[in-house]
Chain A
């Protein structure tokens, strides 16, 4: 029995020896390749070479993501810096600050806002006028055509309803939404609301200016419109008013 086992072991040894040698050789090749790769990755010059070779592919993949991140980051950093400037101005030069404020109030501009918005001004992309009750689009001002403004108006109203009923504060309404570098400001009136899509740095002056524009629009043109039938005639009337108000002002 013991002799038979020995023979079996010898046979197994003879048959599998070449496989064992092959595996050992392959393992060695893989390990040396891994070492080589590790060396290349740790060698800044070689790594830079790899990046250089696939430069355009890397830009295609990372460009849009980084662009959006940077845009948003810069926008929020500017808001932060602006706040700091105002805080410091208030603390250190309170008299001067007050004086400047009064001066700017006459001109309608805050000092820090004036400097920043001059360089970074936010741009108005779209304005929607939406029936508060039904969420139907009454009219829109849109220099760049967007897909299905009716659906956007509906979804904005659904989101607005959701937020307002989730937090349920009396007499409170959703005033803004933020997405990527876009900001949607909502100006609420009794029967309808304006949704304003903006991009870039939105300063207090621009907000206030828009508020004035919408108050003016409601006061003069849209305040008396009947929402019983939201049809093309109403849409045309509203869009003429919007166009008059915005086409020259915010380009």
Chain B
């Protein structure tokens, strides 16, 4: 679950196949320059503050962990991020389809929280 604002709840897609057209491997992810993210971890979700634009979002654990991965290891592909997430969250790979990671990163990109770069 990822919220773009206090009253704007949207569920992340859960595994529907997306044809990434071979683009995924050439796209890497990073946190935009000047971006600063603050996190507050609560029992029902992680609230994140985007200090660059002053917006607040509610993230699930996967999205928050993905941000942590992108922040600590910029320049990773979505496949590599997915592998990190599976490892960090100790989950079965089948629980985190490639397409779900791609869509999650795209949602975060649309919110200006991460940026994609083509290699």
**B is a partner of A:** no
